[in-house]
Structure formats: structure tokens, C-alpha cells
Amino acid sequence: MTKLMTISSYLAVGLLVGTVSALLGIGGGVLLVPALVLIWECSMHTAVGTSLVVIFLCSLAGAIRHYSLDNVNLPLALAIAVGAIVGSFFVGAPLAEMLPAAALKKIFGIVLAVVGLHMAGVSGYLVRLVQAVTAG
């Protein structure tokens, strides 16, 4: 791949991640981590770390724009951010470093599947189905 094609692919994925994360508030990691692993063959650990830097900068830009549109509950955001920062620094990052890449991939996939099913409205149906099956 030529240098121009490489840079173009970075910019194209960045454009997609920025658009989707500002549109849906999903952080971009949903798209970026798989892209880093599958397209650029990054290790899972490197993909997570790289994604967080991109998400930070992307989120900052999106947050500023949404704030200017009066779409931010600042007291709520700041309160949640305190917990998120503590959890990220003291729990998430050290735990990610301790886990093997295969485990991180599985956890990532499960979280995406569960959240995706819930957002699509399927989770309630699945819970009722499991309850019906286990009830006999």
C-alpha cells in the first residue's frame, strides 16, 4: 500500500468514526477497534489504546459542537466523568493490560452484541424467551 493510500485510509476511517460517534454518541471505539485490528493488524492492546486517544480528541470536538447546540447536560456529564476517569485509570487500563488479547476480543464482542441487541429492542424478547425456557 502506498503512503498516499495509507494516509487516505486513515482519513476515511477517521471521517467515518467521527461522523458516527458525533451522530450516535457511541464513542467511535465500536468501529475503530475492529478497524485497527482487522485493517491495520494492530494488537488488541494497541487498538484499545490508540482508539482511546482518537476517541478523546473526537469526543472533545463532538462535545464542543453539541454544547454549542445546547445538547449537553453539563452537571450530569461532569458527575459521570469523575467516575469514568477513576474507573478508566485505576481499573480499566490496568485490567486490560493484565488480560490476554484473545480475552479482550471476546469481551469486546460480547459487549457489542449485548448492547446492540438491547438498542435494537431485541433484548426484552430474549429475556422473556430465556425465562420461559427456564421456567419449564
What mean pLDDT is predicted for residues 86-90?
93
Distance of CA 24 to the CA centre of its chain: 11
Cα radius of gyration rounded to whole Å, the chain: 18
The predicted pLDDT at position 1 comes to: 65
First and final C-alpha spacing in the chain = 57
Question: From residue 37, how far is each of 45, 55, 63 by CA, in Å?
Answer: 10, 16, 27
The predicted pLDDT at position 27 comes to: 67
The predicted pLDDT at position 125 comes to: 80
With a cut of 70, say whether residue 78 has pLDDT above it. yes
What mean pLDDT is predicted for residues 112-124?
84
| 125 and 112 inside one domain | yes
> Number of structural domains, the chain?
2
With a cut of 70, say whether residue 136 has pLDDT above it. no
The predicted pLDDT at position 19 comes to: 87
| 84 and 105 inside one domain | no
| 70 and 85 inside one domain | yes
The predicted pLDDT at position 127 comes to: 80
With a cut of 90, say whether residue 4 has pLDDT above it. no
Three-state DSSP state, 130 = helix
| 134 and 119 inside one domain | yes
| 29 and 91 inside one domain | yes
| 53 and 106 inside one domain | no
Tell me which of 12 and 125 has the higher pLDDT: 12
| 115 and 50 inside one domain | no
Tell me which of 64 and 121 has the higher pLDDT: 64
| 130 and 87 inside one domain | no
The predicted pLDDT at position 83 comes to: 94
| 112 and 91 inside one domain | no
Which residues span the domain enclosing 32? Answer: 3-98
